Amino acid sequence: MALDPSFLEYPLRRYGMDHERYAWSMLTERRPVAWPGGRKLALWVNVSLQHFPLNPAGKPVALPGNMSMPYPDLRHYTLRDYGNRVGIYRFLKAFDRYGIRPTFAINARLAERYPSLIGAIAERGDEIIGHSWSMDTAHAGGLEEAAEAELIKRSLDCLRARTGREIRGWLSPGRLESAHTPDLLKAEGVSYFCDWVNDEMPYRFNTQHGDLWAMPLSAEIEDRFLIVDNFHAEASWAEQVKDACDMLLEEAKTQGGRILSLSIHPWVLGQPHRIKHLEAVLEYLSGKEEVWSASAGEILDAFLRQPAL
């Protein structure tokens, strides 16, 4: 039986993108970017501070890294909680030792439950971005638009009130989104989001309420993805991050500035048998004169100051 011709008809079928969310653009053909001080590689270290409920509902979908054993899954709950009680302080010590300016993606529920930790992060002056309410609030298909709008507003309002800081950025738990997420984020004053990993540099993302900027946060060298999900050794994770740094610096010699985005979690790399590998990576990166360590917002601001982007 022949396929009806209507199955092959799509009004946006064309060269480049087949949607209106962002323009077609090859990375190698863009105008070269220059980072402050003539440095070649912007280093964005993103730390996720997360609250995993002991009894997740898993609706509309279950998020990665959540409870997986019968209730109460104390084994996995307390492991994640370890990051907020112990691991994060090893992170902060390492950041200060190697001159790293991290960005913190924070669940709003965590800000309620750990006021002293959030106060310490805010006092440091590090950038804080939204990370929804908890690791049981997935932004995905099946979530009603009105419910998602309330969830985003509640999360951002809580973070802004608890930290006294402007919240410009957003990282959805699990990098999941519904069809409405970018529009709802822009409507609540968010200027950039970090969910899409289809590039290595910022790009303009169209919404119903104006332009939002996509800041791609690499999933390929994320600690949880490599070490927990794919069972790579910690030393292998460190080697892959160093390889990414070297490759991007090599590209930057002829193509302009690049961004190395590094997503890490204190319940993973903050363990006593792993922290030395994070320290080794930070020592390697900070030891290169071409590397500029900055927050996600600082990197985006420097990018937007470039001529004729």
pLDDT in tens, 139-187: 999 999 999 999 999 999 999 999 999 999 999 999 999 999 999 999 9
CA 65, CA 173: separation in Å to the nearest integer?
10
CATH of domain 33-304: 3.20.20.370
Contact indicator for 216, 201 with CB cutoff of 8 Å: yes
Task: Return all residues near 13 (Cβ < 8 A) that are at least 6 apart.
Answer: none
Task: Return all residues near 115 (Cβ < 8 A) that are at least 6 apart.
Answer: 162
Q: Quick one: pLDDT at residue 5?
A: 84
Domain boundaries, the chain: 33-304
Mean pLDDT, contiguous 10-residue spans, the chain (309 residues): 82 85 92 96 98 96 94 96 98 98 98 96 97 98 97 98 96 97 98 97 97 97 97 98 98 97 98 98 98 98 88
Contact indicator for 139, 148 with CB cutoff of 8 Å: yes
Contact indicator for 219, 261 with CB cutoff of 8 Å: no
Does the N-terminal peptide bond of residue 60 adopt cis geometry, omega within 30 degrees of 0? yes
Q: End-to-end CA distance of the chain: give it in Å, rounded.
A: 50
CA 83, CA 163: separation in Å to the nearest integer?
20
Helix (H) or strand (E) holding 243: helix 234-255
∠ CA 279-300-266, rounded to 5°:
30
Q: Quick one: pLDDT at residue 261?
A: 98
